[in-house]
Amino acid sequence: MTEHVMKILIIGDGKVGKSSFVQRYVNGKFNSTYKTTVGADFSVKVLQWSDKEKVRLHLWDIAGQERFISMTRAYYKGALGCVVMFDVTSSSSFLRCLHWKQDLDNKAMLPNGDSIPCILLANKCDLSQWVVSTDSINKFSQANGFIAWMVTSVKDNKNIEEAMRRLVEEILSVQ
């Protein structure tokens, strides 16, 4: 049995759903009043990937931009994959994804110097008041080197497993 250990960063503005995403993915729960514990901690999820492979994910949930100022390279060190998340009802959270991606690429890279695989998630798709068009997300994703983008709803448990599976596939393929 081979076990792959992967450090994955979950980044994006505050309130877009990052800690809810981790909570949903790891514990299968959604709680609208769930509060993040402060500190650069990680959650663990183990996947039986194939007959002979396990994947142990260490999910590092960064808090909102206010805490980001104090984030150091140590936070990014050793990361093999990244989720950049925004909220489809917040155009500012979408615009800030450029900053998040650039910052990631400045501070983290694979041992061979390539940028680390990163998926863009358009969260809260269950809400009706979208302010970001799929066309602009598509263009942004392609222009900025994301491996893919997906709509998600942590609330409705839509595309959570699928998004992480897509990211893990990419990580395994570049190793």
C-alpha pair distances (Å), 116 with each of 37, 56, 91, 147: 26, 17, 25, 10
Residues of the shown chain interacting with ligand GDP in the complex, contacts defined by CB under 6 A: 14-20, 32, 36, 64, 123-124, 126-127, 153-155
Per the CB < 8 A criterion, the answer to whether 136 and 88 are in contact is: no
Which value, in Å, is the radius of gyration of the alpha carbons in the chain?
15
Shortest spacing between CB 137 and ligand GDP, in angstroms: 16
Q: 11 and 141 in contact (C-beta within 8 Å)?
A: no
Closest approach of Cβ 101 to ligand GDP, in Å?
Answer: 16
Residue type, 89: T
CB 93 to ligand GDP: min, Å: 9
Give residue for tokens 């076990």: 3
The size of the chain, in residues, is 175
Minimum CB–partner distance for residue 59 and ligand GDP (Å): 12
Report the residue number whose CB is nearest to ligand GDP: 17
Instruction: Name the minimum Å distance from CB 52 to ligand GDP.
Output: 35
Q: Which is nearer to ligand GDP, 37 or 173 (CB)?
A: 37
Q: Closer to ligand GDP by CB, 7 or 124: give it.
A: 124
Shorter beta-carbon distance to ligand GDP: residue 19 or 141: 19
Nearer to ligand GDP, 55 or 82 (CB): 82
In this complex, which beta carbon is closest to ligand GDP, that of residue 160 or of residue 171? 160
